Amino acid sequence: MCVNLIGIRKIPLIKEGDDLANIIINIANKEGVEICNEDIIVIAETAIAKAEGTVIDLKLIKPSVDAIEISEKTGKNSKLVEAIIGESADIIKIGPDFIICETKHGFICANAGIDESNIEDGFATPIPINPDKSAEKIRKEIETQTKKEVAVIISDTQGRPFREGAVGVAIGISGMESVWDQKGKLDLYKRPLQTTKIAVADELASAASIIMGQADEGIPVVIIRGVNYFKLLRNKIANSKPLIRPKEYDVFR
């Protein structure tokens, strides 16, 4: 199997109200990358936040007493801390330069997923209000215009427990399952797998992150082509919820 990662390089800086589906199709065509059946299109969450107009203007925020207290413990700007509190369902752990949160979506990540990179000074981008819905809207528009079957993943960069460094993860998906349950399949020694679940959406988001980069690469969209399990996992109503471990099984809190 050969999988291709194709970065769409000439995506313009996204503004509120921009039609991302149209932009992706048009720029991909200009770059000679016609969207094909079974393409998986990974989009950075920053682009989604800008297009949907959910960018946070930190200058307009008045820090609460709690935000000021957490700011003193973490060294983070108190206005940013207030924004983090506003995007969180729960603050799980506070330490030097980090705030581990449960977001309103149920994701466990640093700083409620709020990002100050690749945005103008004084602004920050939150996780989209409904990443699955965002992915679904873009997928449907691309499929309608191109007459191709595709999947769309909204990606974010997050850290992991007990591991240094950040990787790309899926926070929204449409068009295919986010988790591949392989229970019952046989291993090399013909023994049935008992509990194996593959977080395929996270694997794909992480692969795309290699091309997107984290600095000034300017590649917020990556097309993944050649994934041989697309048809097997094709599902127009699937979402990212299966990626979130139920709280009763989360032994790390």
Tens of pLDDT, residue by residue over 12-60, are: 999 999 999 999 999 999 999 999 999 999 999 999 999 999 999 999 9
Domain boundary among 99, 123, 147: 123
- Work out whether strand 197-198 and strand 4-7 pair parallel, antiparallel, or are unpaired: unpaired
> Is 29 inside a domain boundary?
yes
Taking only the tens place, the pLDDT of each residue in 63-94 is 999 999 999 999 999 999 999 999 999 999 99
67 and 29 part of one domain = no
- Residue 96: pLDDT band with limits 50, 70, 90: confident
Residue 13 domain flag: yes
Phi, psi of 180 (to 5 degrees): -110, 105
**Does 92 lie in the same domain as 66?**
yes
Q: What CATH number is attached to the domain comprising 115?
A: 3.90.1660.10
Same domain (yes/no): 66, 106: yes
**119 and 194 fall within a common domain:** no
In a domain, 253, yes or no: no
Residues 229 and 118 in one domain: no
30, 145: one domain = yes
Please count the residues of the chain.
Answer: 253
Report if residue 252 sits inside a domain: no
Q: CA 39 to CA 89: how far, in whole Å? A: 34
Same domain, 41 and 68: no
Q: Indicate if 47 and 139 belong to the same structural domain.
A: yes
Asked if residue 169 is part of any domain, the answer here is: yes
Is residue 250 situated within a structural domain? no
CA distance 134 to 204: 18
Residue 146: domain span: 4-53+128-245
- The C-alpha atoms of residue 77 and residue 101 are separated, in whole angstroms, by 17
Residues 190 and 221 in one domain: yes
- Give CA–CA dist 237/216, Å, rounded: 34
Of 71, 96, 123, the residue at which a domain comes to its end is: 123
Residue 150 inside a domain? The answer is: yes
| Residue that has been written with the tokens 């041989």 in this structure | 228
Quick one: 169 and 182 in the same domain? Answer: yes
- Model pTM score: 0.94
Q: Say if strands 150-160 and 221-225 run parallel, antiparallel, or are unpaired.
A: unpaired
What domain count does the chain have? 2
CATH code assigned at 139 = 3.30.1330.100
Whether 194 and 177 map to the same domain: the answer is yes
Task: From 101, 123, 145, give the residue that closes a domain.
Answer: 123
Provide the b/e sequence for 165-200 (b: ≥16 CB within 10 Å).
ebbbbbbbbbbbbbbbeeeeeeeeeeeeeeeeeebb
Q: Are 231 and 200 contained in the same domain?
A: yes
Residue 230 lies inside a defined structural domain of this protein: yes
Task: Tell me the pLDDT tens digit for each residue of 47-64.
Answer: 999 999 999 999 999 999
